Amino acid sequence: MEDFDDQTMDARLGEVLRPGMKFSHEYDFGSTTHLTLRVIAQEQRQIKGKDVRILARNDPPSFTCTSCGKPATQVCAECIYSDEGCLCDTCAAGHECGEEMLLPLVNSPRAGVCGYTGD
């Protein structure tokens, strides 16, 4: 994190974003995930305390097992790069890459990249 080319990290989202704006975000913890985002609305709220609050969340996308078509629950961190590797519990158990390559399929663009488990 040495390279702040566009904005410093001190800028607050509410000061730089407006409804209708499209922007990109690079999430980088060793391997970069590029996100393209759009601001759909703005809302004023009174915030008490300093805790981080989740104001909105997407509906989790549903993925089907690339082997058998049942709902997928896990993703193979190796096979995801060839657009495969979404697996149901049954197929995950016998997956060729091994159990250590499997990550839980969570509601995150980083599913299959990092160890986030959804909690």
Task: Show the beta-strand stretches assigned E in the chain.
Answer: 22-28, 32-38, 74-76, 86-87, 102-104
Q: Return d(Cα 102, Cα 92) in angstroms, integer.
A: 8
User: 89 to 118, contacts with Zn ion by CB under 5 A?
Assistant: 91, 97
Binding of Zn ion by 80 (CB under 5 A): no
CB of 70 to Zn ion, least distance (A): 5
Between 25 and 70, CB nearer to Zn ion: 70
Backbone angles phi, psi at 52, to 5 degrees: -75, 130
CB of 30 to Zn ion, least distance (A): 20
CB of 75 to Zn ion, least distance (A): 9
Q: Return d(Cα 52, Cα 96) in angstroms, integer.
A: 40
User: 40 to 69, contacts with Zn ion by CB under 5 A?
Assistant: 65, 67-68
Between 28 and 84, CB nearer to Zn ion: 84
Between 14 and 98, CB nearer to Zn ion: 98
Binding of Zn ion by 88 (CB under 5 A): yes
Cβ burial of 116 (10 Å; 0-12, 13-18, 19+) is middle
